[in-house]
Amino acid sequence: MLQVMRYDEAVASLFQVPIEQFVAERKRLAAELKAAGDKDGATKLAKLARPPISAWVVDQLWWRARDGFEALFETAQRLRDGKLDAMAAHREAIATLRAHAVKILTDAEHGATEATLRRVTQTLAALAASGSWDPDPPGALSADRDPPGFEAVGIGNLAATPEAQVASRRTEPAAQAHGTQVRAHGGAKTHDAGPGRQHRADGAADTDAARERREAADAQRRRELAEAAARAEAAAELRRAEAQRAKAAAERHRIEAALRTAHGDVAQREREVVRLERDLAAARHMVEQAKAVVDGLEDRLAQFDN
């Protein structure tokens, strides 16, 4: 007995089809859910928007390059934990997924334009920053994502476009020159202020108090980071389990679809057998009629011999 498709299985199946088949497949799956008694799921599925080509590519990366996506999330988490040595690995993960995106677009005969790849990279950066696909199911984006302020989540601007990186490099010399001028002016002001021993003593006391406040703030920050890391690890484990369930569900759906196709083939061949048997019966009847004619003619011929 075939198992009834669930809504999450239908979503996983829908977002893996070629983009030009999305609308037709959405209609077919919605009808299948409705026929199975899941009217709410059918209605919800029918409302899922066809993604733009850039979001569709990101979905395909999840289904076809899962290791690359796990590397993206893992390196992003390390950066949020303050492990800056993961920066190179994070950029490499994005570059690897971008290369996969080019191949997917090319194989599907869609243009791998710079504008499309830029949107793909921005969506990857947004997913890395949030650490999950929420509120969408994994591999089921209907729209592109825009990265939040990366500093707010502990990740620097790692996914900057090549144009932004060039602009940053161009502005660095000017910023350095400006900083040199500021330091020069600051030094002049300090010199004008004079030694001021009492002022230095008061400043030392203020510095001690400020240092204590900074140390307390740093300790609090470390505790918060440890708690966040524990929560992130639990969330990552949950995401991995969900990904495994989604993968198993998608595989089951593919097997069930193949089984439905096989049942259809059997039914078609059985109908063909019935038709052939009917034709065979008709042919045998015609043979019998022909034999009767032969017998009659032979009898008449025998009469002439007598």
Question: 195 preceded by cis ω (within 30°)?
Answer: no
Q: Let me know the angle formed at the C-alpha of 71 by 99 and 22, rounded to the nearest 5 degrees.
A: 55
Does 141 fall in a domain?
yes
Q: Is residue 251 part of a domain?
A: no
Answer whether residue 76 is part of any domain.
yes
Same-domain status, 106 and 132: yes
Residues 18 and 153 in one domain: yes
117 and 186 fall within a common domain: no
What pLDDT is recorded for position 35? 93
Taking a C-beta distance cutoff of 8 angstroms, is the pair 100, 19 a contact? no
Give the pLDDT of residue 283: 80
Residues 156 and 166 reside in one and the same domain = no
Q: So what's the pLDDT on residue 147?
A: 78
Share of residues in the chain with pLDDT > 90 (%)? 44
Does residue 197 fall inside a structural domain?
no
Are 184 and 105 in the same domain?
Answer: no
Residue-number span of the structural domain to which 276 is assigned: 268-306
Helix axes 7-14, 39-46, angle to 10 degrees: 20
Residues 106, 184 share a domain: no
pLDDT at 71: 95
pTM greater than 0.85 (yes/no): no
Question: Could you say which DSSP state residue 137 is in?
Answer: P
pLDDT digit string, tens, across residues 261-292: 666 667 667 776 777 787 788 888 888 888 88
In this structure, is the dihedral angle defined by the CA atoms of residues 71, 73, 74 and 75, taken in order, positive or negative?
positive
Q: Do 165 and 90 fall within a single domain?
A: no
In a domain, 36, yes or no: yes
Whether residue 195 lies inside any domain: the answer is no
Q: 184 in a domain, yes or no? A: yes
Q: How many domains in the chain?
A: 3
Torsion (CA) 239, 242, 246, 248 in degrees, nearest 10: 120
d(CA 240, CA 10): 20
Enumerate residue ranges in the chain where pLDDT < 70. Answer: 1-2, 148-205, 223-251, 253-258, 261-265, 267-268, 272, 306
- pLDDT, residue 210, reads 84
Rounded-to-integer distance, Cα 61 and Cα 28, Å: 24
| 53 plus 74 within the same structural domain | yes
Strand segments (E) across the chain: none
What is the reported pLDDT for 254?
A: 67
Q: Is residue 213 part of a domain?
A: no
How many angstroms separate the first and last alpha carbons of the chain? 72
Per-chain mean pLDDT for the chain: 77
45 and 133 part of one domain: yes
Both 38 and 179 in one domain: the answer is: no
Q: Are residues 118 and 179 in the same domain?
A: no
Give the pLDDT of residue 289: 83
107-130 pLDDT, tens per residue? Answer: 999 989 999 999 999 999 999 999
Peptide bond preceding 135 in cis form (omega within 30 of 0): yes
Same domain, 69 and 167: no
* Residue 219 CA neighbour count, 13 Å, CB half: 6
